[in-house]
Structure 1
């Protein structure tokens, strides 16, 4: 990646979201051998990102390994910093630590955490993790609003493999995106992001956050997840993409991103269908223009062509294969097609 979008070709990575641990490890090894720039894993209530990253680190040699995302909430800063140190060592310095909170409901009902002030909590968490990264230098003391840490290390604490760890934050609404500008090295954009949202909301928020801390906004790398559905049957690929878009659009948290892109009415129709339990109607409520603005879908050539819109606009694109409603063999074929797409020559790109 480069210091800011536009100075070099946008790189491509692949998400393992939706795959089980065995499949994720196999995909990472295949992608690494093919020369994919980065592999990204995620976590939910049934999958640990740190375990996945450790397993993928042992089967890869060159690609960056990132979390998109790993829950910051639910882990103490000490545990998070220790896990990151170990993962970076295991991978030979290839870790990108992507952190996020999830939605308010996830904070409250999944993690049993007070969902108030999530952006302020995340800003403090990153600050403490960076202090703990350097615990080999001596006592770490922090007495903040959300976290209290007072540790004086004993014995021989070796320094980490790298002086600092790249930390990316997941953000959708401006306040959290500002936090990325204030304290992080990059942003992990949501799969519902459009180029319009990136221009009108994301970049101004990063600039605002960076400016308040005396940082340069162009040094905050913009990474975004893009739903990528590949099939020789173009219409099948577009239906797969529409289903994944509808899944995310059913969550009210993402209303702003959809409204800015001009899809407020579609979001309402999707949520109404979701309330009825009508999954087919949810997918049908996603029009072609919404697919084309949010996802890349179609034959391999069509997907490669569609990805050109991100060149020079973001630093890194994470290709995210749909899994909702797809039988395992078809989902597996789709994500493996992304390996070829991510390594195909692109107008002088890598």
Structure 2
């Protein structure tokens, strides 16, 4: 099992994870991933870290498809991949209707069909075999209508790789199954390593050899009670704030993990503005199952659960200092 880090969103000055990324590279971590929601973008920060490193792989977890046309994402990806010497892993996700329609002003329906079409265009751009066209209803190329002057084009840049690895940020069973068909990996956000086979085995059964499961895991090295408290903060936000009341894919996932009633209560408190209560209402058992929490000797025991799972790469999220990154890497290698 490989280790990486997920540094998440960039939110404010002077926030800069360069020292953490450099420490991870020195300690032999395989990859660093950045994120975007409705603030900072994932590519700019990743380019910033990529310019300061030489070996560590550069991933997005995840780039939101509705933020950019397929051609724009393909351009971002091929440029960063070339400048970094072929180190990019392009993590993509459909996001949810709250962000897609409220922030990007794009339609959300039919995310599976849009995803399939989106990836097909990415591959055509990178392959450079012919001018890119697409007859699908979601991203038609050339655009039908308008001036009528649109023409199929081929990238004037030559990618260093004709196929950049694509990992899908997916939570629903059908979306996970689609990722095994058209992508190179899956980026689960909240996953219990002991329940991957029982909950997602059917969706993952047709994955091809080399298909990578790369899981982000909140990690807090501290006394267990303190660690649980820290881990509940982002969980409450995702359950309560990252989605509409009646359409929240994160809440649905927590329900499938066995905490539907508890998640509904967290959402109710969060939406009511009682955020401290929402954080406290997140079950200890839930955050413990999907995280790495407590003193190092306890984390060593919990790491075995991930080794025994189908996860190939564990993205450590929340650890910033090199001594702790080193200690976790040594535990994983033990």
Q: Does TM, normalized by the shorter one, top 0.5?
A: yes
The alignment of Structure 1 onto Structure 2 pairs a total of residues equal to: 315
> Offset of 1:114 from its aligned partner?
0.7
Residue equivalent to 1:96? 89
Question: Using the alignment, how far apart are the partners of 2:179 and 2:220 within structure 1?
Answer: 29
> Offset of 1:308 from its aligned partner?
1.9
Do the aligned partners of 2:38 and 2:99 also contact (CA within 8 Å) in 1?
A: no
What SS does structure 1 have at the residue aligned with 2:191? Answer: coil
Question: Using the alignment, how far apart are the partners of 1:118 and 1:177 within structure 2?
Answer: 12
Question: Using the alignment, how far apart are the partners of 1:71 and 1:139 within structure 2?
Answer: 25
Do the aligned partners of 2:188 and 2:216 also contact (CA within 8 Å) in 1?
A: yes
Question: Using the alignment, how far apart are the partners of 1:272 and 1:141 within structure 2?
Answer: 46
TM-score if structure 2 supplies the norm length? 0.87
Question: Of the candidates 144, 149, 153, which is equivalent to residue 141 of structure 2?
Answer: 149
| 1:50-89 matches, cutoff 5 A | 50-89=43-82
Question: Using the alignment, how far apart are the partners of 1:338 and 1:172 within structure 2?
Answer: 30
Question: Using the alignment, how far apart are the partners of 2:37 and 2:254 within structure 1?
Answer: 24
Question: Using the alignment, how far apart are the partners of 1:319 and 1:343 within structure 2?
Answer: 10
> Offset of 1:126 from its aligned partner?
0.6
Question: Of the candidates 181, 202, 220, which is equivalent to residue 229 of structure 1?
Answer: 220
Residue equivalent to 1:261? 257
What SS does structure 2 have at the residue aligned with 1:143? Answer: coil
What SS does structure 2 have at the residue aligned with 1:255? Answer: helix
Do the aligned partners of 1:230 and 1:298 also contact (CA within 8 Å) in 2?
A: yes
Question: Using the alignment, how far apart are the partners of 1:69 and 1:106 within structure 2?
Answer: 14
Over 3 Å counting, the alpha-carbon distance change for 1:152 and 1:287 in structure 2 is closer
Matched, 1:184 2:190: no
> Offset of 1:153 from its aligned partner?
3.4
Moved more, 13-22 or 101-110: 13-22
Residue equivalent to 2:203? 205
- 1:28-76 alpha-carbon deviations (Å, 9 max, x no partner): 1221122211110011222111111111111111111100011121211
> Offset of 1:260 from its aligned partner?
2.4
Residue equivalent to 1:346? 332
> Offset of 1:286 from its aligned partner?
2.2
TM-score if structure 1 supplies the norm length? 0.83
Aligned residues: CA RMSD: 2.1
Matched, 1:107 2:100: yes
Question: Using the alignment, how far apart are the partners of 2:95 and 2:202 within structure 1?
Answer: 22
> Offset of 1:292 from its aligned partner?
1.9
